[in-house]
Structure 1
């Protein structure tokens, strides 16, 4: 822990009567540690109804941080976990004893009625700037649902490195998450601080008013104090142009995905599957070739089953998407997140059999053409550009006294294997991690 992190935690804990605070340290200063210190204090006081509302992609990271650095137990709640708990007789997944509950914004918003049944001692809202348009009548419904879901909580702890991006009204919106009456109504706030924003006295008054509510530390302040020695970052870019075959594959397969009348993809899963397929397509031709092979096999050999989210097993983040607004009714008993299971829906079941068979044959032929085109591409322009810029980066690292090591993140495991095979002829040691 660093001194500024302890200061931030003390700021959050200074008054038992306060409804909440905003910790707005700049990126990289450890807001997770600051929030965890507050959580640990509440836990020690046996105030253990604690909820963390975080972006879906950060749930596992939060759980690991709490366990490894603070030895605090937690449970990640999503639709799948909720279904498993329901089978065990737990109707409200938010009701946990001696475990910190971690859930995504989307899940909490969808399950606001269940969430609000818990008397939360502490609610932590990571990336809280997602809620800053709460004050607008036509603002995010999700933001309003999140606040409603945690209504009545003892304390809300907001975390955001960017509480304001466009105007001061966003600060007003965040203040309403903590205390809806803190600045009065919107008209009063605008009159006092927006319409006369060039008035130095008014701005000073705003700083004093917000001071008990918001704590912000800047990177330069920490550097001046010698708290953290930040590593200097360098950015290298490498332009590339897809080959004619790559561009043809991208364009034609994109047109296929835009066809809302295609039979192959389950209607309930279309948004999720199409987004996943585009991610795979953008990763590499090798990635999409493997997925196309799976699509064709399922459509021809496996009783012509519709394609659902299970098609995206090459993308680790697909499970996060299921909990990020692409799922259906969480109380659906017979499927995952309300998406049709392969056995529950037949391709074009509402069509005349002959027309359905003819349309399906055309789609399979399309997919086979895409597969042929994808497998005929022996190298990707983006992969070649990566090798070029990687050599530059390693040479630069070497000149700065670093080791010739690099970590490459990919969207697809198949893309990893392609890159692994590319590096072998160059005598570069590489190992894929899935």
Structure 2
């Protein structure tokens, strides 16, 4: 028979006398009975002595971790064995266990109600026990300890807390560009991993897979994040369980071959879709047209209970598409019917959508973090060489477009090539010259065919080498070869006297450097050939101070280039593909757009590299264009009008704030189809093109206003949302570690780097437990962890986890205390909520401070009290049992307030009680 653990409660089967097991000898037990007699008793003569309501501790007989402490809920006899149902608080689960594995312990509540007088030393241990619980709860609800150096902003912490406290993990995050969506998701995933969720699938644009992997690995320590199709491939579906955090391109996954493999991947704890507006489903008449991407999303929705959608423009001016995204969050006929009534019930969005605006967010001190943005247009005069080349190029393009209209699939592709050539010409003479030369080589059979299809244009990858597009080996139209030869000759002449480069170097860059010779400048272009052209020009001005990043480089090469730029460099020339995912606001606030992208969202994303959290100066943006160049002038006019319309919309807003204009620029850009305007410009007068721009902006404004009408009902950053939580931060982490070091005999021998790095000597017990040497260097600062070669005390630290475990152990003590508190009495508790299946969804750490005026929840004074060592007050009164009814009523009230249709109260546990405060006023 199974022998009960030492300390177990037993009852004698014959006389019913109760006792405690104090030892074992062979198959016999040593039991101390209630009359203080100790006898040796046969195992078969005793049975379980536990009662419902008792607090017990799980004592495993194997190497499995203990489930901790819990409360006995029920007893049963099954197959001749006695078992106990225990609600384990820390593990947040209920389990039937053999009673022999359970040891009764005094809970903090029992000590409180029985007036137990705490021994010396319990005051400091009470403080450290509560600090451990508060810090671990802070980590679970915000992911804050995942990476101390992330320094989460209030809106990011609020977003994670809003999701985790809602009881539902299906949300659309509609934050503006530059507010740190990857940090928000990283914090959320870290918190979910604390709750036992393990399998996450990230479905993102192809150009962002590496960025997501880097963010998750470097910022959040999620080293198992791998990219499907790059880091691994699946041939046997049985291999899927090997991968728990997978990142994949939505345009790879949507193809049937990959989708079929994905169907065999099993259940996912959460699926995240970045740029979710690409998951389009449109309503035409009474039927839906579903894109392959939306089909992918619907397939994955059936493989998970939790979906997270990320999109700055979820509405897109189309209510049907917005509703389609909401149906991914809330599938099923009942919700489809509700969502179709969105116009009548927009308030439902508060439980489905979170939206943060740049103009709203603040730092921890409540200061608005965005300093504004200024945009200036710099025009280069069109010289004779530019005018001659521009006229010849227009004739070539017109001939190509005419050829494309003659029908046939091959001819349609000609129009696509012509559009690419127009983009290249608007970028630089170097870019278009390279493309024309390659086209001529192809016609002379000197080059393999490279022709981008329209399908390719729909992919996520930025095309920075479009000058390599050549088309077939036959002429697009008669006389094309001769026309190409003439164009190339004109381009060669133009490069000797390029007024756009002169305006860039001689006017703009020179003026910037005259104001500040050490000013760093970020320059964006769409194409590699333009990038090479600019680097050559800048090297003459600033040798060895020019860096480049583009899509052909490895992550390490791009990182090295940025490090040099922010260190001793001065100019960084980037393509879209190179700059995506890199944030450069620390050392730079000036951006030059050498060319203007045809997609306005690309421009917003460029600006977002600098206009983001951490930028200490107003961002200054210079847009270059050439006077007289048709496409350049259209783009310049369109972007100028875009800024003007946004300024008007911001000015008339009832909620005008500094920075709102930039938010609106981003909104409008998401609704503008500039490519269509430029495609039609060849056949229209300038007046007609200007009218088309105004019409497009009018439609974009209507779409943006319609989107705002809906999204104003979504959840957003509320500076007071966390006011009811106990204020806990990094200073509490330092106070906890220092206090635990003192308890465990760890010596802090020196404090370096203004006290941010500690040299310590571990106790022998910790050395053996953690298999570490005695001398260690630790820090709470991630950059210092690298530069000072110190152990980082974050959520991945074995040392910090050991300190938490020690402080939470029953043997550590501190369940009750008499000490100098900010009130007459404090009761600390953990509240819990569950879903309708009994699964834990939310918990909340709570400190209730008793004053003469009543009971106060999570007061700031208690958070401040936790920062300093506590001392015992032996003469102070013990915890007053008479206060329990008021405390209990408050706990039940707060459980009710925190409940919803999806969150149901699951109980509370008292974690500590302190008395003997400084006063009760």
CA distance in 2, matches of 1:325, 1:419: 23
Whether the 8 Å CA contact 1:48–1:121 is kept in 2: the answer is yes
Report the equivalent of 2:894: none
1:346 Cα offset (Å) = 8.6
The yes-or-no answer on 1:124 pairing with 2:272 is: yes
Cα 1:427–1:126 shift into 2, 3 Å: closer
1:238 aligns with 2:378: yes
Match of 1:154 in 2: 305
8 Å Cα contact 2:301-2:307 kept in structure 1 = no
Q: Which residue of 1 aligns with 2:435?
A: 291
Q: Do the aligned partners of residues 229 and 367 (structure 1) sit closer, same or farther apart at CA in structure 2, a change above 3 Å counting?
A: same
What's the RMSD between the two structures over aligned residues?
4.5
8 Å Cα contact 1:132-1:173 kept in structure 2 = yes
Report deviation, 1:156.
0.6
Change (3 A) 1:149 1:246: farther
Alignment equivalent of 2:530, drawn from 389, 404, 415? 415
Contact persistence 2:404–2:412 (CA under 8 A): no
Residue in 2 that maps onto 1:371: 488
Which of 350, 354, 358 is the matching residue for 1:219?
Answer: 358
Q: Structure 2-normalised TM-score?
A: 0.35
Q: Secondary structure at the match of 2:202?
A: strand
The answer to whether the 8 Å contact 1:249/1:374 transfers is no
Q: Is the 8 A contact 1:420 1:430 kept in 2?
A: no
Task: Note closer, same or farther for the CA distance 1:12–1:193 as it changes in structure 2 (3 Å cut).
Answer: closer
CA shift in 2, pair 1:298/1:133, >3 Å: closer
The 1-side partners of 2:412 and 2:263 are apart by 28
- In the aligned structure 1, how far is the partner of 2:247 from the partner of 2:411? 30
Shift of 1:27: 3.2
2:207 paired residue among 50, 57, 68:
57
Residue 28 of structure 1 deviates from its aligned partner by 2.4
Q: Deviations over 1:65-111 (max 9, x none)?
A: 12221132433346xx59x94xxx72679947336333333333334
Superimposed CA distance per residue, residues 331-358 of structure 1 (whole angstroms, 9 cap, x where no aligned partner): xxxxxxxxxxx9xx9946xxxxxxx9xx
TM-aligned CA deviation for residue 404 of structure 1: 1.8
Query: Partner of 2:181 in structure 1?
Result: 31
Alpha-carbon distance change, 148 to 189 in structure 1, aligned in 2, over 3 angstroms: closer
Structure 1 residue 62: Cα displacement: 1.7
Residue number among 219, 236, 242 corresponding to 1:97 in the alignment: 242
Of stretches 147-156 and 277-286 in structure 1, the one that deviates more from structure 2 is 277-286
The superposition leaves residues 159-198 of structure 1 with CA deviations (integer Å, 9 ceiling, x where unpaired) of 1233345476655333112113487446x655x553x6xx
Query: Which stretch of the first structure deviates more once superposed, 216-225 or 266-275?
Result: 266-275
Instruction: Sort the Cα spacing of 1:92 and 1:364 in 2 relative to 1 into closer, same or farther, 3 A.
Output: farther
Paired with 1:360 and 1:93, the residues of 2 have a C-alpha distance of 55
User: Secondary structure at the residue paired with 1:250?
Assistant: helix
For 2:435 and 2:323, the matched residues in 1 are separated by 47
Q: Secondary structure at the match of 1:174?
A: helix
Distance in structure 2 (CA, Å) of the matches to 1:30 and 1:47: 23
CA drift of 1:252 comes to 3.7
Specify the alignment match of 2:810 in structure 1: none
Q: 1:301 to 1:175 in 2, by over 3 A?
A: closer
Q: 1:4 aligned to 152, 155, 159, which one?
A: 155
Report deviation, 1:19. Answer: 5.9
Matches of 1:97 and 1:253 in 2, distance apart?
A: 55
Partner of 2:504: 386
1:297-346 deviation line (CA, Å, top 9, x unaligned): 454364x6433469xxxxxxx9x9584499xxxxxxxxxxxxxxx9xx99
Give the Å deviation of 1:134: 5.2
- Stretches of structure 1 that go unaligned for 5 or more consecutive residues are 197-201, 311-317, 327-341, 349-355
Instruction: Decide whether the 8 Å contact of 1:21 with 1:213 is kept in 2.
Output: yes
CA–CA separation in structure 2 for the residues paired with 1:285 and 1:93: 53
- Mark the CA change 1:414 to 1:381 in structure 2 (over 3 Å): closer, same or farther: same
Contact 1:123 1:156 in 2 (8 A): yes
**Counterpart of 1:313?**
none
Higher deviation after alignment, 228-237 or 94-103: 94-103
Structure whose alpha-carbon radius of gyration is higher: 2
Q: Secondary structure at the match of 1:238?
A: strand
Are the structure 2 counterparts of residues 422 and 7 from structure 1 closer, same or farther at C-alpha, using a change threshold of 3 Å? same
User: Of 513, 523, 546, which aligns to 1:431?
Assistant: 546
How far does residue 140 in structure 1 lie from its aligned partner after superposition? 5.1
Structure 1 residues 347 and 286, CA, compared in 2 at 3 Å: closer, same or farther? closer
Select the residue among 108, 115, 119 that pairs with 2:262: 115
Q: Structure 2: how far apart are the matches of 1:427 and 1:420?
A: 10
Indicate the SS of the match to 2:242. Answer: coil
* Residues 1:232 and 1:372: Cα distance change in structure 2 (over 3 Å): same
Q: CA deviation at 1:409?
A: 1.6
In the alignment, the residues of structure 2 paired with residue 250 and residue 96 of structure 1 have an alpha-carbon distance, to the nearest angstrom, of 56
d(CA) in 2 for partners of 1:237, 1:93? 57
Partner of 2:116: none
How many aligned positions are there? 376
**Residue deviations 1:113-148 (CA, integer Å, cap 9, x gap):** 443333332211112233465566445524532323
Question: For structure 2, which runs of at least 5 residues remain unmatched after alignment?
Answer: 1-151, 463-469, 550-921
For 2:373 and 2:444, the matched residues in 1 are separated by 50
Pick 1 or 2: higher relative contact order, CA cutoff 8 A, min separation 6. Answer: 1
Separation in structure 2 between the aligned mates of residue 433 and residue 131 of structure 1, nearest angstrom: 33
Match of 1:247 among 390, 411, 414: 390
Distance 2:164 2:270 in 1: 11
Instruction: Give the secondary-structure state (helix, strand or coil) at the position aligned to 1:234.
Output: strand
Measured after TM superposition, the shift of residue 403 of structure 1 is: 4.4
- Counterpart in 2 of 1:329? none
Q: How far apart are 1:426 and its partner, in Å? A: 5.8
Superposition TM-score, scaled by structure 1 size: 0.69
| CA–CA separation in structure 2 for the residues paired with 1:256 and 1:409 | 31
How far apart are the structure 1 equivalents of 2:416 and 2:195? 43
- Whole-angstrom distance in 2 between the partners of 1:255 and 1:220: 45
